Structures are given as structure tokens and as C-alpha cells.
Amino acid sequence: MSIIELKDVTKTFNAATVPIHAVGGVDLTIDEGEFAAIVGPSGSGKTTLLNLIGGLDEPTSGSIIIDGTDITRLKPGERTRFRLRNIGFVFQSYNLIPVLTVYENAGFIMELRGDPAAERDRRVRRLLDEVGLGDRLESRPSRLSGGQQQRVAVARALAPRPRFILADEPTANLDSHSAENLLEIMARLNREENATFLFSTHDPRVVKKARRVITIEDGAVASDKRMPEERAVHG
């Protein structure tokens, strides 16, 4: 069952002056439970595409349908609420809130959604255990390594059980060991929680783990390959 459906999506920057066609006529479908990577050289349009799918930017034309809702037709406020309810984000720079503890950061989006405190507590504790930070609940982000911070960010994104998670270069700032560890965790959560992950990445380690690799060149889908199932499972 498809969660994300892009129909002839284009994005042109500076349309009135010197137009830059960042994305041109992309058709793409992402199914529930996928562990997919969008790859491509710098400037190929993969981050723009991810921003469009995440509702952080509006396409110049085309439609982006998420779980049956065309988000291009939503007003800004509605799109913000839609993101809160349906999309999880993992950023390259972790973007944790430094004044909150690991526990508070991981539960932040659930709290923002107004999820019941007891449910939030159970979910956050379980996820932090899953990502190996169950003993660091009261630590501040500044006391954690980059890999640990990114694991908190993954727990934060997954906590409210979004329809899918967009991860923009999640391993770019991590060393090999931390990156491998993070990818293992995400792959496991993808299997165990049937969480859908869509990465934008340069990182061959991510590409190696992905079950589907979508290559973008000059703003268009150059190739779309599905990998054998055991690749993602066993790395």
C-alpha cells in the first residue's frame, strides 16, 4: 500500500528572474514499510525532493499525495498540523533541544501532539531502550556523542508513530562505527515497527542498507532499484 505518491512534481526556484529547475516532473511512489534511499550528487535535487515530500516546501506544479491527502492543496497551518500528525523528521545535525534531557527530547513531539502522558512515558522509555540510551534518560544532549544524539533524534521521530520518517543525510556527521550502529537501529525499527524510512543521502553505508535506492540526477529520477530483501536485514 503506497503512503507517498508524487505525480509530475516540479520545483523551480527564482521563476521570475533566473529560473533554476531543481525538480522536474518526478513521479514516485513509496510503500508502507519501505526502507528507501534517495541518492544523487550534490545539487541533484534530492534534498529539495525530500523537503517537498515533507511539506516544508511547495512544488511549482504537480501533486504530492500522502495517505490519500494532497498536501499541496493544504493551507500552511493545515500543512504544519499534517506534519505533526503524519511525518517524522531526522536531520543531519540532530537538532535536539539542548535545554531538555534525552527523555524530554524523545517525548517532545508526542507532547506537542498532546498525547497522553502515560502513553508517552511508555513509548519514550521503550524507544530509548531500543536505541541503547535507556540509561541516559536524564542526560543533556551536550553530554552525548554525535551518534547518541542522532539515536535520540530517531527515537523522537519514531515516538508518535508517524506514517513515515524522512531522514536527511542522517549519518553525514557520524563516524563509521556510529553510522553503522544508527543504521542497524533504524533497520531494526523498520522491521519491528513497520516504520517507513526515506533517506536522502550521499553515504554508501546507507545505500548499502537500503532496500530501495532511488537515484536523482538533474532533478529527475534516473534510476529506481529495489534490492534483495536479505540485504537490508543482514546488512
Partner 1 sequence: MLFALSWKNIWRNPLRSAVVIASIALGLFCGIFATAFMNGMGRQTVDNAVTRELANIQLHEPSFVEEPLPSRVIPGADSIFAALRADTSVKAVAARTGVTAMAATAKTGAGVVVKGVDPVEERRISRLPDDIITGNWFEGNRRNAAVIGGKLAEKLAAKLKTRIVLTTQNREGELTGGAFAVVGIFETSNSTFDENTVFVKRSDLSRLIGAEGDAIHEIVLLLKRNESTDSMAAMVKNAYPGLSVRTWKEIQPEVGMMESLMRQMMYLFVLVILFALSFGIVNTMLMAVLERRREFGMLMAVGMSNRRIFSMVMIETVLLSIAGGVLGMALGEGAVAATAKTGINLSSLGKGLAAIGYSPLVYPYIDAGFFGGLCLLVIVSGIVASIYPAVKALGLNPADAVRSET
Among 8, 27, 29, 93, binds partner 1 (CB under 8 A): 93
CB of 181 to partner 1, least distance (A): 23
Pair 72, 63: CB distance under 8 Å: yes
CA distance 64 to 4: 7
Q: For the chain, first and last CA: distance in Å?
A: 25
Among 29, 80, 194, 223, binds partner 1 (CB under 8 A): 80
Q: For the stretch 188-209, what's the b/e string if a residue is b when 16 or more beta carbons lie within 10 angstroms of its beta carbon?
A: ebbeeeebbbbbbbebebbeeb
CA distance 9 to 24: 6
Pair 1, 31: CB distance under 8 Å: yes
CB of 102 to partner 1, least distance (A): 14
99 is a contact residue toward partner 1 (CB under 8 A): yes
150 is a contact residue toward partner 1 (CB under 8 A): no
One character per residue 166-205, x = contact with partner 1 (rule: CB under 8 A): --x-------------------------------------
143 is a contact residue toward partner 1 (CB under 8 A): no
The residues that touch partner 1, with contacts defined as CB under 8 A, are 51, 54, 56-57, 77, 80-85, 87-89, 91-93, 95, 97-100, 108-109, 111-113, 168
